[in-house]
Structure 1
């Protein structure tokens, strides 16, 4: 039976490891309890989180036990990693709501039946800490000089790093120690931007408990040019279908660059690597088949097979200019809604733009078509006669589609 470390390595997940040989040996001889932390700073997971959840699923399928740690406590501080400014302070009520959303989404990917996985929230131990005992027991093990060499702090020193954020590494390190004590957790995983925080936690366990602990980071989801994936003009690609519709989600993966298809298939699906390599090697027009497979498989994992099929049918209908049969984002309007409505008003109503000013710029730049006719006039009126068989299709840029139905 193959070692799951080799599976993750072959599929391109592993970026750094504190002790590669020891971690591989550990995976091969026992069931390992490991954790990944997710700060609930939004009300949905996004595709960057999804990569890590897929890795957790690979590990669980291989017999290891995941801890999905909600950062109910650390979210009240804010992780400075990769940020040029301090995070917005969230209320406890918002954090709790976001945490509940995370938990609901994750249950579709991991088996949380007894003994198979653990849901934990670091608010359970962080919010009740007493400051003086905490810094005596834990803070003394952290060297300020060493902390300041960490990339997450170095990049913030010029603009200013608050003492609040400076505590984040200590909090995350303490999470690892607490999970070791409560559940025998020996391994922390995370995105590569978490490397400094992860090794701080492993080091804390060695210092306080005298036991070995390990860390490993995953590659960040980036394009072949090194740009972070999972973003569009309208924002992040979310797993919540109300924030990113299944059709928009499908379209994002259907339109990735040819050079990124194999990487995304390896990281975001469970297809065998022989099939991943075969699809990734397709060239010319054939690579579009590989993109369809990628989009369908990822959408199926996140939204289910029925929604993936609807999205695929809708996308094919659009490309073939045939009848629409799928889940393209749709807005319904009435005749009274159309009284005096211009193209800018319609763009705002469909939420394709946030304001009339943004819509004006988009139209003037030639970025809007209706039923394949480019709209250049910002005063273009939308009337009942604008609809063919009760609907019209707005196209924003090259890849954004939105159907409007007259009801």
Structure 2
């Protein structure tokens, strides 16, 4: 893992502030002093409520990475206990998942998070599961030793709880805040954790953990939150153009789709995204911002961020395959250089139609959506704007040759310079 571009441990807060990554804090001046006296052992938690984290979770993953690169010690919690309950959400009560399901998701999320951190050296990261200290608690111990310290009036003041009071909230979800607060205390006692960070929607839970530590006699604990990321147009961050969630798991969102999510970011969003998600220096980001403003068609900021994050999450080789695919689909590279998995992912993102046999060019273009009718498909061919595997087609009614199939089953269809689709021969 590369070293950060931060000039010392005390500069980390300045860097986070410049990147817009500080929203709430217990006491910023005290936190700055605490970090200056470091290294500080801190924690961030992830609940396994799905088999993968989403791109929104990258804010916390990368913030923790920045803190480690500044010399601090991460404790990374994957909530095998809290994942069995789920933090309350405004929409209504969560469905409870089985212990086996949650345990499986814990393992998957641990594997997703681990590559972002160093687990050796003076500030080695530690991975923990809150089920380890929550499971042995009896109900009496939980109520007497933990629940006794939580005033119900303060718990009721949390926004999401107030929103749920009319529609109803179970004691299970209501008590989630107590479990998360107990995690902070246990991590302080076991590993010396004195700082927690999370998203701003977690501020109520986080500050409750700070208060619980103080009620248990612990002093000098701190917390901060990062703002929730939104698009400039007000729409929710973390969804693709089709409205699908963008996941960190390659089996749920392909590396190609992950790359395209960042590459297709709006110019109005990209500078903010670079600050939040990139490890480039301020000077580098300001230069990319200038280039984006002056030459938006070049998509320099989007390209830089897409390459950086795809490499970080999926590896250099996979990123290179994705870039090769992006170029080859539009005739700027050899389609035969693409691995079958990368090619299929790219075509699925563009729009992939399955066929039982190879029809004519016109039929393929109609079925793939590149033409609204056979007549329109024939006109595209006649005008020289129809391509199969980057070869210009001249006979609209001729069947596509099986020799054109890539890896024995795929065809790349292109109309003009920019409109792509794909076809897959069923086996």
The two structures share one fold, judged by TM-score above 0.5: yes
Residue matched to 1:349: none
Q: Give per-residue Cα distances to partners, 1:333-385, cap 9 Å, x unaligned.
A: xxx971699xxxx9xxxxxxxxxxxxxxxx9xxxx973x723469xx9xx993
The 10-residue stretch of structure 1 (234-243 or 253-262) with the greater mean CA deviation from structure 2 = 234-243
Residues 264-279 of structure 1 aligned to structure 2 (within 5 Å): 264-279=273-288
Residue matched to 1:312: 323
Q: Which residue, 292, 296, 314 being the options, matches 1:285? A: 296
Q: Which residue, 202, 205, 211 being the options, matches 2:213? A: 205
Q: Which runs of 5+ in 2 are unaligned?
A: 1-6, 349-353, 378-396
Question: Could you tell me how far 1:231 is from its partner in structure 2?
Answer: 1.3
1:404 aligns with 2:404: no
- Shift of the 402–180 alpha-carbon distance from structure 1 to 2, 3 Å rule, reads farther
Question: Could you tell me how far 1:155 is from its partner in structure 2?
Answer: 2.2
1:329 aligns with 2:344: yes
Q: Give per-residue Cα distances to partners, 1:94-118, cap 9 Å, x unaligned.
A: 1111111111122211012265111
Q: Give the SS at the match of 2:260.
A: helix
Q: Give the SS at the match of 2:164.
A: coil
- Shift of the 166–394 alpha-carbon distance from structure 1 to 2, 3 Å rule, reads farther
Residues 124-203 of structure 1 aligned to structure 2 (within 5 Å): 124-203=132-211
Q: Which residue, 78, 98, 108 being the options, matches 2:115? A: 108
Residue matched to 2:313: 302
Q: What is the TM-score when the length of structure 2 is the normalising length?
A: 0.79
Q: What is the TM-score when the length of structure 1 is the normalising length?
A: 0.83
CA RMSD of aligned residues (A): 3.0
Q: Give the SS at the match of 2:198.
A: strand
Residues 117-128 of structure 1 aligned to structure 2 (within 5 Å): 117-128=125-136
Residue matched to 1:90: 97
Residue matched to 2:254: 245
Question: Could you tell me how far 1:237 is from its partner in structure 2?
Answer: 0.9
Name the count of aligned residue pairs: 372
Q: Tell me the distance in 2 between the aligned counterparts of 1:214 and 1:226.
A: 31
- Shift of the 109–210 alpha-carbon distance from structure 1 to 2, 3 Å rule, reads closer
Q: Tell me the distance in 2 between the aligned counterparts of 1:106 and 1:387.
A: 45
1:215 aligns with 2:223: yes
- Shift of the 310–206 alpha-carbon distance from structure 1 to 2, 3 Å rule, reads same
Question: Could you tell me how far 1:154 is from its partner in structure 2?
Answer: 1.7
Could you tell me whether the CA contact under 8 Å between 1:329 and 1:403 is conserved in 2? no
Q: Which residue, 59, 69, 77 being the options, matches 1:69? A: 77
Q: Which runs of 5+ in 1 are unaligned?
A: 347-362
Could you tell me whether the CA contact under 8 Å between 1:15 and 1:216 is conserved in 2? yes
- Shift of the 321–309 alpha-carbon distance from structure 1 to 2, 3 Å rule, reads closer
Q: Give per-residue Cα distances to partners, 1:176-209, cap 9 Å, x unaligned.
A: 0111111111111111110000000000001112
Q: Tell me the distance in 2 between the aligned counterparts of 1:402 and 1:46.
A: 27
Q: Tell me the distance in 2 between the aligned counterparts of 1:227 and 1:269.
A: 21
Could you tell me whether the CA contact under 8 Å between 2:184 and 2:196 is conserved in 1? yes
1:7 aligns with 2:15: yes
Residue matched to 1:359: none
Q: Runs ≥4 in structure 1, deviation > 6 angstroms?
A: none
The 10-residue stretch of structure 1 (234-243 or 249-258) with the greater mean CA deviation from structure 2 = 234-243
1:338 aligns with 2:346: no
Residue matched to 2:265: 256
